[in-house]
Each structure stands twice: as structure tokens, then as C-alpha cells.
Amino acid sequence: MKKATLFKTLERNNVRCTCCQRYCIIEKDRSGFCGVRKNIDGELYLNIYGKAVAVNIDPIEKKPLYHFLPGSKIFSFGTIGCNFRCSFCQNWDISQAIANTRGRYENPEIEELVIGKLCEGGQDLPPEKIVEYCIENKIPAIAYTYNEPTIFSEYAYDVGVLARKKGLKNVYVSNGYESVECLEYIKDFCDAINIDVKSFNPDFYLKTCGGVKLEGVKKTIELAYKMGFWVECTTLIIPELNDRDEELNAIAKFLTGVSKNIPWHVTAFHPDYKMIDKKSTPAQTLLRAWDIGKKAGLNFVYAGNILGMDHGDTLCPKCDKVLIERGFMNCDSCEIVIGKSGIGTCPSCKTKIAGIWK
């Protein structure tokens, strides 16, 4: 447990959390919506500091990031908790562990005790240990992922600032509901953000993601890009919910309006958590989304996570030369072949390719 940075003190020992756009007002001895930020005597504490429940060494492409150190490995970790309540969450066992505890106890004090015990779980993983491991194993970057990193930004900050001093890069994999205060805070260490665009229907965010606002996500994408983060976006396409041409086109046009160089990843849904009644996304839907993205003016659209898809290569937006050839990725492996031409510039037409390549 460590005192948080992203909060303001209020009257009567209340605090306002400023890490995400919910801006929770938290009473004494209570935790916020995410459950991992608790008011203790009028001060806010992060009660999952140094506690990781998921740790892996991943291919950078699994984040997914295709224009950021391609072909490299990345140290990935997450905690419990989330500021969203997505009924289709693919990592619900950790992200929704606290949410699934809420309301099970009549006595709120007992509920807080149970949540506190949940937050004590996981392995002790202090910032120094993470950075030391990456240096010893020549891993060039760290990802804050699996659950929503916004809610543990103080933990991420201490890892990330130390990592940057040692020459490592840092990545957020996020739902895009950071507050302005949070984006300013993580700018000290974070190089890239992959932001989910879960839908372009405000009702989807309100009803399916737990009472949040689409406009807030759009604001984060715009601001993160202006602030100089490398931004890529991902849409998990769910049959009958967000797979209409009109909606996919709206997402693509919005991203194009921010920058035509933002890579857009369209990925396949599989039934999970509270949404097991929906069918998996067919390959043809991803191909349709890919085509919509390209026609909307995006330079880089990627369709992935279905066996046999061949729309993961990076092509020159001017002459269509294959610059990065990627093999199929699954949970266990990722193959990538980088052309001899040198990343960042097309060898045929000399067009500069947007990204962070080294």
C-alpha cells in the first residue's frame, strides 16, 4: 500500500480521486469504483501497490502494437480491478474480481475488508525488481496491461520512471478513460498507448461497459495524440453489437480525423464472462472492417487473432510494398520477419513510415 498522487482532499475527510474520468468522491474507510484506491483518514492510498497478479513476457505485437519496436519482447504485468464493467471482458477473472465482490455483503465494512484481502493477493513485484529483470534479460519495454493500468498509475509511475532512466520504454494498454491529470502524470514515463474503441454507440458504453461515456474515450485519444504518445487503437468486434458498417465507418473516420497514421486493429470476439450467448466473430467481418478502415483513409489497418488471416503485414501506404511481414499470433507464439530495408522508411519510394522503430 502506498499513498496515491492522483487525488484531491475534500471536506469531512472525503477525497476526490483524479486518476480516471469517473472522478470518484470517496468517503473515509471506503474504496472507489475500481476498489483499489482507498480513503484512509482523508488521504487516498493505492492498496495494490507492488502487487501483480498477472506477469508474462509477450511479443510486443500481442498488446497489440505493430508500429512500436516490432519483433521485440515486452515485460507485461497487471493487478486486479478495473474502472469499467464490460460484460464481455476477456480478463474478467482479475479485472472484475472486486466488482464481483460488491453487493455480496450487507455490512459495508465487511465488504471493504474482503476487498482489502483481495488486494493483498498476487506476488510482490516492486519497481526495482521489474526493471532489473528487464535489463538482465535484454527486454526493451514494459507494458502495463491485463487489467486497466489507469487505476494503478502510481505503481506504474514508479516502475516507468525508473525504467526510462535505464533506457527502457513503457506502454499502457488501456480502455481510454484516463483523466487529463492522469495523462499529464504518466507523460513522465509512458511512450505509447493502445486504446480500446469498444464501440461508437454511446449506449454501448453506458449499458455494456458500466456507465461510462464514449465522448470521454474520444477525448483521451485526441489528447494522447496531441501530447506526443504513440497511439494505436483496437476494436473488438462483437457480432450484432458493434459490427454494423455504419458504426465501423464512424470509428475509422474519427481516427482518420485525429491522424491517418494511427494504426487500427480490428480483432475477433470469443464468448466469455457474461456474454457467452454471442457467437465468435467470423473472419469475413474482420475483412469487412479492414476494408472500411482503408476506405476511410487510415494508412494502417490490421485484422488479427483468427487463424489464416493475412492482414497483419505492414504495407507502405504509398506503394503497397510489404515492409513488415507477420506470422499468425496466438497465446504461445508470434513470428515476425522484418525486411532488410530498415524500418521506418520504404525502400522503394522512400516514404516515411510513422512509428517508434528503435
Question: Which DSSP state fits 281?
Answer: P
Residue 334 is predicted with a pLDDT of 44
- Tell me if 94 sits within 8 A of 54, measured CB to CB: yes
CB within 8 Å of 179: residues ≥ 6 apart: 6, 18, 19, 20, 21, 23
CB within 8 Å of 310: residues ≥ 6 apart: none
Task: Name 57's bridge partners.
Answer: 75
Q: Output the nine-digit C-alpha cell for 262.
A: 494511427
Q: Output the nine-digit C-alpha cell for 118.
A: 483481495
- Tell me if 177 sits within 8 A of 83, measured CB to CB: yes
**CATH homologous superfamily of domain 51-338?**
Aldolase class I (3.20.20.70)
Peptide bond into 64 cis (omega under 30): yes
What does pTM read for this prediction? 0.94
Q: Output the nine-digit C-alpha cell for 115.
A: 476487498
Residue 272 is predicted with a pLDDT of 92
Residue 341 is predicted with a pLDDT of 45
Question: DSSP 3-state assignment of 298?
Answer: coil
- Tell me if 293 sits within 8 A of 252, measured CB to CB: yes
Radius of gyration from C-alpha coordinates of the chain: 20
| Phi, psi for residue 109 in degrees, rounded to 5 | -70, -40
Q: Output the nine-digit C-alpha cell for 335.
A: 513470428
What are the distances in angstroms from CA 149 to CA 184, 190, 260, 272, 335? 15, 12, 26, 21, 27
Q: Where are the domains of the chain?
A: 2-46, 51-338
Task: State the angle between helix axes of 283-295 and 245-258 in degrees (0 to 180), rounded to the nearest 10.
Answer: 40
- pLDDT tens-digit profile of 259-292? 999 999 999 999 999 999 999 999 999 999 999 9
Closest CA to 181 of 15, 17, 346: 17
Residue 327 is predicted with a pLDDT of 66
Q: What share of the chain is helix, strand, coil (3-state, %, to 5)?
A: 30, 25, 45
pLDDT values of the chain reduced to their tens digit, one per residue, 358 residues = 999 999 999 999 999 999 999 999 999 999 999 999 999 999 999 999 999 999 999 999 999 999 999 989 999 999 999 999 999 999 999 999 999 998 888 888 898 899 989 988 889 999 999 999 999 999 999 999 999 999 999 999 999 999 999 999 999 999 999 999 999 999 999 999 999 999 999 999 999 999 999 999 999 999 999 999 999 999 999 999 999 999 999 999 999 999 999 999 999 999 999 999 999 999 999 999 999 999 999 999 999 777 666 788 899 999 998 888 886 554 344 445 454 445 688 888 989 999 999 8
Q: Which helix (H) or strand (E) holds 318?
A: none
